[in-house]
Amino acid sequence: MPPQVTGSNPALAARGVSKSFDGRKALSGVDFEVGPGEVVALIGPNGAGKTTLLSILAGIAEPDSGEVTGDGVAWVPQQAALYRRLSVRENLLLFAHLQHDAGQTAENPEQMVTRMLELTGLADRAGDRVGTLSGGNQQRVNIAIGLMADPSVLLLDEPSVGLDPAQRERLWGFVLGLVGEGTAVAFSTHDIQEAERYAERIVVVAEGEGIFSGTADELRQAVEAGAAGGGPAAAGDLETSFLAFLRERGH
């Protein structure tokens, strides 16, 4: 299924991206795009290729074929990539210096850290060691590092894994605040409700192939259309629709 194009100038786009690991196909000709200020959820079963696709979009991994276009992309890994023995401030300062030295930002590192502490609401925990923070707060620091260079696109790999509902709520409040300022967000998740709740568009990946791109309602409609054509029946909630959709397509 071709991707649903959100506009003529996507903030980040991938065309026909393929990737194999030791002869095993991880991605097979996947198209993907996210428009400015858009929130896109990437869903699919385990091993579907979501993390691989995000890594390629972030420029961390090279695709075997296909191309990726877009600037100012920041990637936030699934597990907090932080030094647990350093404080929040020391972690932020380290990455601020590294980004400054790498030419990704001209902002003074100290000022950048102050800005990020305000943005994440962690100024009062600046001196605390990261290892002592809750999972939600760790993830906020994790995302803050990704935001240091003021990216136009933020890629989040399963950002809410391990968070309780309250932490998840706070995290999304923070992320949606960035979206309100024009940052595009693409995130992978196993939580269909989270995708439905926060994403404007859902992209389904299964066995390395992009099989759906559209809104949650469009996904339900697609399932109902399949049921009408003799496919498996779908219940009302999106998770059931999603599972039915996968079964219908043999995944």
Partner 1 sequence: MRWLLLKDLQILKRSPLQLTLLILYPIVIALLVGFAMTREQDQTKVALYNAMPAGEPLGFGGEEVDGNEIRDQLCGRVDCIEADSTADARKMVENGEATAAVIVPEDLGDKIRSLASLSPESPEIQIIVNGSDAVENQVTDDRIEAMLGEANLLLAKRLSEGAKQYLDLILKGGEFDLLGQQIEVLGLQKSEQILKKIEPKLPPGTDKEQLQRAVRFAHLATDNLDLAGPLLTAITEPIKADKVEVGDEAPSLDTFAIGVTVAFALMFVTVLLVAGSLALEKEENAFTRLTAGLVGRGQILVAKVGLGTVVGTGVALILLVGLGLFVGIGWGRAPLWLLALIFGAAAFSAGGAALGAAAREVRAATLAAVMVCLPVALLSLVPDDAVGPAIETAINLVSAVFPFRPTLDAITGGLEISGPSLWLPLLHLLLLTATYGALARLALRRF
Site residues, partner 1 (CB under 8 A): 58-60, 75, 77, 79-86, 90, 94-95, 97-99, 101-102, 104, 129, 145
CB of 84 to partner 1, least distance (A): 6
Residues 222, 241: Cα–Cα separation, whole Å: 9
Nearer to partner 1, 102 or 228 (CB): 102
Sign of CA dihedral 79, 84, 89, 90: negative
CB of 91 to partner 1, least distance (A): 9
DSSP per-residue string spanning 178-197? HHHTT-EEEEEES-HHHHHH
Supply the DSSP symbol for 101: H
Nearer to partner 1, 57 or 211 (CB): 57
CB of 129 to partner 1, least distance (A): 7
Nearer to partner 1, 106 or 228 (CB): 106
Residues 188, 160: Cα–Cα separation, whole Å: 10
Cβ atoms of residues 39 and 185 within 8 Å: yes
Q: Dmax over Cα atoms in the chain, in whole Å? A: 62
Nearer to partner 1, 154 or 244 (CB): 154
CB of 213 to partner 1, least distance (A): 26
Nearer to partner 1, 14 or 199 (CB): 14
Residue 7's CB is within 10 A of a number of other CB atoms, namely 11
CB of 60 to partner 1, least distance (A): 5
Nearer to partner 1, 59 or 121 (CB): 59
Based on the number of CB atoms within 10 Å of its own CB, is 22 exposed (0-12), middle (13-18) or buried (19 or more)?
exposed
Please name which of 145, 147, 133, 170 lies closest in space to residue 81, comparing C-alpha atoms.
145
Nearer to partner 1, 28 or 188 (CB): 188
- Convert 98-131 to b/e letters by CB count within 10 Å (16 or more is b): ebbeeebeebebeebbbbbbebbebeebbeeebe
CB of 81 to partner 1, least distance (A): 4
User: Tokens for 91?
Assistant: 């972690």
CB of 76 to partner 1, least distance (A): 9
Place of tokens 């930002």: 105
Helix, strand or coil, per DSSP, at residue 237: coil
